[in-house]
């Protein structure tokens, strides 16, 4: 499966820098953030395409006031989204700029009008946010555009995840990526449950990844070891910009460190390999092998005192020691001489 030019089977972990609300209301900050994402090695920058009116109602009723111990408690939903949204008139300039510096760019649509709007830019993928996974019509419409579809599973039941996958497949879209996500901002480490990542891939027959809202860079590293093929993390140019998402976003230095850690982790994971590489063969000089520990006269018996398994590894394999002990020497051997003649094993 590919996202743009990136091959998830061959090119490693696809790392998404989530711009979200970290633009400070200025297009130049958004462009500089895209540039920084490219500089630190992100594979993509992701936008969010909505307005306050496409997400919620401008109501003062209690239902529309945020509560529950979030960063945004007591704020009206409408006001939060009004503050956070990225103006639609910026999109063309941001898409053009990202492509001019060769970083992938796509977005999360939050209603059908956003999908229709984004189609003009021919994005390489679409992302369905965790809170939209229950909007089956949005998933169906988005998947019908036949772009790679990335779906965060933060609030979903296992049945709703299956429904989302089935909806995509029913419209002929099989390029599905499910992201393990904890929809808390920030998310506690003990709530991450990253073992879900390989289970998502196995249970639903899809590519699995991780949308991270924890603080720091540990979780993406662990996710990589567990088979995540996509990592998404909120990215901010500078935390002094502030905004609704700044507290759980990584700045340029932190994001660069995360990417390096993920890439190093990929190298460490490598592949299943029992072959005798050149380095392995060279290192066998430090293995043990059989050497003469005392001068041995012809006719003497080989014992644990005069034959030992020691370093280096140029002599006979230690596995032969038990078959040598108790045999009679057919010639003289000097201290420090390696045993490397299997004829010794043919004499009783």
Q: pLDDT at position 342, please?
A: 64
Comparison of pLDDT for 67 and 141, the residue scoring more: 141
Q: pLDDT at position 68, please?
A: 80
Average pLDDT, the chain: 94
Residues 24 and 172 in one domain: yes
Q: pLDDT at position 348, please?
A: 54
- Residue 74 resides in a domain: no
DSSP conformation letters of 174-230:
--EEEEEE--SSSBPGGG--TTHHHHHHHHHTSEEEEEE-BSSSHHHHHHHHTT-SE
Per-range mean pLDDT, top range of 81-90, 108-117, 176-185: 108-117
Rg (CA), the chain: 30
Is the predicted pLDDT of residue 232 greater than 70, yes or no? yes
Residues 335 and 251 in one domain: no
Question: In sequence order, what are the residues at sequence separation of 6 or more whose Cβ sits closer than 8 angstroms to the Cβ of residue 55?
Answer: 77, 81, 110, 111
Residues 212 and 141 in one domain: yes
- Residue 150 resides in a domain: yes
- Residue 329 resides in a domain: yes
Please state the rounded mean pLDDT for residues 202-209: 98
Residues 181 and 45 in one domain: yes
Last residue of a domain, one of 239, 269, 299: 269
Residues 110 and 15 in one domain: yes
Residues 249 and 116 in one domain: yes
Signed CA dihedral, 248, 253, 257, 258: sign only:
positive
Is the predicted pLDDT of residue 164 greater than 70, yes or no? yes
Residues 156 and 305 in one domain: no
Residues 131 and 183 in one domain: yes
Is the predicted pLDDT of residue 140 greater than 60, yes or no? yes
Comparison of pLDDT for 132 and 345, the residue scoring more: 132
Looking only at the bridges linking them, the beta strands covering 148-152 and 125-128 are: parallel
- Residue 1 resides in a domain: no
> Which residue in this structure is represented by tokens 């709703």?
160
Total domains present in the chain: 2
Residues 162 and 27 in one domain: yes
Quote the percentage of the chain above a pLDDT of 70: 98
- Specify the CATH number for the domain of residue 117: 3.20.20.70
Q: pLDDT at position 55, please?
A: 93
Is the predicted pLDDT of residue 290 greater than 90, yes or no? yes
pLDDT band at 343 (very low <50, low <70, confident <90, very high): low
Q: pLDDT at position 70, please?
A: 75
> What domain range is 325 assigned to?
278-346
CB 20 within 8 A of CB 91: no
Q: Which two tokens stand for residue 298?
A: 């012809």
- Specify the CATH number for the domain of residue 318: 3.90.1210.10
- Residue 76 resides in a domain: no
How many angstroms separate the CA atoms of 284 and 318, rounded? 13
Please state the rounded mean pLDDT for residues 235-263: 93
Q: What is the pTM for the complete model shown?
A: 0.87
- Residue 59 resides in a domain: no
Tell me the pLDDT tens digit for each residue of 165-204: 999 999 999 999 999 998 888 889 999 999 999 999 999 9
pLDDT band at 211 (very low <50, low <70, confident <90, very high): very high
Residues 222 and 254 in one domain: yes
Is the predicted pLDDT of residue 344 greater than 80, yes or no? no
Residues 156 and 289 in one domain: no
Last residue of a domain, one of 269, 299, 334: 269
pLDDT band at 346 (very low <50, low <70, confident <90, very high): low
Last residue of a domain, one of 219, 244, 269: 269
- Residue 79 resides in a domain: no
- Residue 77 resides in a domain: no
Q: pLDDT at position 334, please?
A: 96
Residues 194 and 316 in one domain: no
């Amino acid at each position: 499966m590919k996202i743009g030019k990136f091959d998830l089977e061959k090119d490693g972990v696809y790392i998404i820098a989530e711009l979200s609300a970290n633009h400070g209301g200025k297009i130049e900050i958004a462009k500089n953030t895209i540039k920084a994402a490219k500089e630190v090695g992100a594979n993509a920058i992701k936008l969010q395409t909505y307005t306050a009116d496409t997400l919620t109602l401008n109501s003062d009723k209690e239902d529309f006031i945020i509560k529950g111990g979030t960063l945004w408690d007591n704020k009206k939903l409408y006001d939060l989204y009004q503050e956070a949204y990225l103006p639609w008139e910026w999109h063309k300039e941001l898409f053009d700029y990202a492509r001019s510096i060769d970083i992938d760019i796509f977005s999360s649509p939050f209603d059908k009008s956003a999908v229709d709007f984004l189609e003009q830019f021919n994005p390489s993928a679409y992302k369905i946010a965790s809170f939209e996974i229950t909007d089956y019509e949005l998933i169906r419409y988005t998947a019908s555009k036949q772009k790679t579809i990335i779906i965060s599973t933060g609030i979903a039941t296992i049945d709703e995840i299956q429904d989302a996958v089935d909806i995509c497949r029913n419209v002929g879209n099989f390029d599905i990526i499910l992201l393990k996500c904890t929809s808390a901002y920030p998310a506690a480490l003990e709530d991450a449950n990253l073992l879900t990542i390989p289970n998502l891939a196995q249970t639903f027959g899809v590519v699995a990844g991780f949308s991270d809202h924890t603080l720091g860079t540990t979780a993406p590293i662990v996710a990589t070891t567990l088979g995540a093929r996509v990592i998404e993390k909120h990215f901010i140019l500078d935390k002094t910009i502030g905004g609704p998402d700044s507290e759980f976003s990584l700045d340029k230095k932190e994001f660069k460190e995360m990417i390096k850690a993920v890439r190093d982790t990929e190298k460490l994971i490598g592949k299943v390999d029992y072959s005798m590489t050149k380095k392995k063969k060279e290192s066998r000089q430090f293995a043990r092998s059989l050497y003469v520990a005392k001068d041995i006269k012809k006719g003497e018996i080989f014992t644990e005192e005069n034959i030992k398994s020691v370093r280096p590894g140029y002599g006979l394999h230690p596995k032969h020691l038990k078959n040598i002990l108790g045999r009679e020497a057919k010639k003289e051997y000097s201290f420090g001489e390696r045993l490397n003649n299997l004829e010794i094993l043919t004499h009783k």
